[in-house]
Amino acid sequence: MMNLSDTLEIAYLGFYFSVMLVLSVYGTHRYYMTYLYYRHRRRRHTVTELRSEKRPHVTVQLPIFNERYVVERLISAVCNFDYPKDKLQIQVLDDSTDDTRQIAALEVNRWREQGVNIVHIHRDNRSGYKAGALENGLHQAEGEFIAVFDADFVPDADFVLKTIAHFDDPEIGMVQVRWGHINREFSPLTQAQSILLDGHFIIEHSARNRSGCFFNFNGTAGIWRKSAIEDAGGWQHDTLTEDLDLSYRAQLKGWRFIYLQDVISPGEVPVDINAFKSQQARWAKGSIQTAFKLLPNIIRSRMPFAIKLEAFFHLTANFAYPLLVLLSLLMPVAIIIRYKHGWYQILLLDMPCFIAATLSVCAFYLVSQREMGEATWDRIKYIPFVMSLGIGLSISNSKAVLEAIFGKQTPFDRTPKHGVFKRGDLWKSKMYRGGRSLLPWFELAMGLYYSVTLYLAVQAGHWLSIPFLFLFQLGFFYVAFTSFIQAKREA
């Protein structure tokens, strides 16, 4: 007969495995994405160019806010687009409060004198943040089609030529291209971010778009049909992911999207861990806000069940972060309980969950690198670090998800850019950094928690659990210490 202690320990393990089971379901979804990618790989959209006499009027919007290091680079790249000047309008949508305003104005004047149709639209307030700036510019847009680029991008001259032809189909509302990473080689952090984004753009976007599921504009490096934006209700700023929100609203209206995997628009990923955390938290919070806003409409729609289910997993994926934090707290005690009672057979339950929740991450990103022709040791060696980084981000992203759940409103915190390309480029003395917070102390505490757990595991000879525990320790310590060090240098 079990005593109270045994009953509580069994209940604890039951709760632990319940959390792991839900995480396993989201992990299995990565396998499903990979399956869809390969199943529909022959439906890959090809690049076509429109005959010159049919080329429509295009407006390019450049929303910026305090981007002194990259604004000239961005404007110059867009002004060099290989597209008829009489059919191209460029809007610099500037909400800046520093000298970026003057830098942008000078650059706009320089290009206007060369015959480029470019305007500098400055707002004295950030009402609606990026969405507000885009909506404000839309009222003054001359083009039938609207291309959008964030300040950290350097689009190639043939961007419009490679995308505009797909709008020959009147049902196409948006065309998104793949992001490249101009500073991938800068540091292990930028390498890891690039792999994370490659998984999203190579596997997820391709799988969703080719299989007929909802997929989304990524806020930059895409081009919209203006009437699709207006028909969907325009840019709205009640979520932090205005791009995801508009994408789903437009597709619910019946507009179809195209993803061009073979067209790449280079961009800069954050080199500052605090900026990266802020970016990821904004995306996490915004996706949950969008889920609460739009999932009821999606469920009530006449879309096939498979598409509704995929939309659910897409919009709610960041719920996994609070569960991951919970699992991180539960796991060490669960290991101790099992070994204390000699319940080694329960370890068999870990294997399916491990395959679903952990190996799925490895497989997902390995496939994305192989599809890029980059599945070499130079990329593969970063996969364990990518997994640890995801664990380390879980506290910051969990806070963002909980804010979305409880309806806490926060401002749009833009990602700082520093104009760095290669290893050794200086950035630490430049302005703009990610915001500080108390979260690194919680990340440090989790790292110490796993250090103690690792010590106990070694003492008890629990060798099978050590690699898994080490991933958690590394992730929390890396994110915590890097956050502290870079915040100190900022000061």
Tokens read off for 199? 């998984």
pLDDT single digits (tens) 182-233:
999 999 999 999 999 999 999 999 999 999 999 999 999 999 999 999 999 9
Instruction: Let me know if 350 is a catalytic residue.
Output: no
Please report the pLDDT score of residue 379 as a whole number: 76
Which whole number is the average pLDDT over 334-347? 67
pLDDT tens per residue across span 390-415 = 999 999 999 999 999 999 988 887 77
Residue type, position 426, single letter: L
Q: Specify the higher pLDDT residue, 469 or 269.
A: 269
The catalytic position among 198, 243, 245, 272 is: 243
Q: What percent of the chain has pLDDT over 90?
A: 69
Domain with residues 1-491, CATH architecture: Alpha-Beta Complex (3.90)
Q: Does 86 participate in catalysis according to the annotation?
A: no
One-letter amino acid for residue 154 of the chain: V
Rounded to whole angstroms, how far apart are CA atoms 487 and 415? 15
pLDDT of residue 491: 44
pTM: 0.92
Per-residue pLDDT at 106 exceeds 50: yes
Check: CB of residue 165 under 8 Å from CB of residue 50: yes
Position 14 scores a pLDDT of 87
- How does pLDDT run across 134-158, given as a tens digit for each residue? 999 999 999 999 999 999 999 999 9
Reference 141, options 61, 240, 46; nearest CA is 61
Domain coordinates of the chain in residue numbers? 1-491
Reported as a pLDDT band with limits 50, 70 and 90, residue 424 is low
Averaged over 431-452, what is the pLDDT?
Answer: 84
Q: How far apart are CA 454 and CA 332, in angstroms?
A: 9
Catalytic-role residue among 95, 150, 152, 245: 95
pLDDT-based confidence at 437, cuts 50/70/90?
confident
Share of the chain above pLDDT 70, in %: 90
66, pLDDT greater than 80 = yes
> Per residue in 250-267, pLDDT tens?
999 999 999 999 999 999
What pLDDT, on the 0 to 100 scale, is given for residue 202?
A: 95
Contacts of 187 (CB under 8 A, 6+ apart): 271, 423
Residue 456 has pLDDT above 50, yes or no: yes
Taking all residues of the chain, what is their mean pLDDT, rounded to a whole number? Answer: 89
Confidence of residue 378 (pLDDT cuts 50, 70, 90): confident
Check residue 485 and give its pLDDT.
87
pLDDT 10s digits, 283-297: 999 999 999 999 999
Q: What is the pLDDT of residue 360?
A: 83
What pLDDT is recorded for position 334? Answer: 83
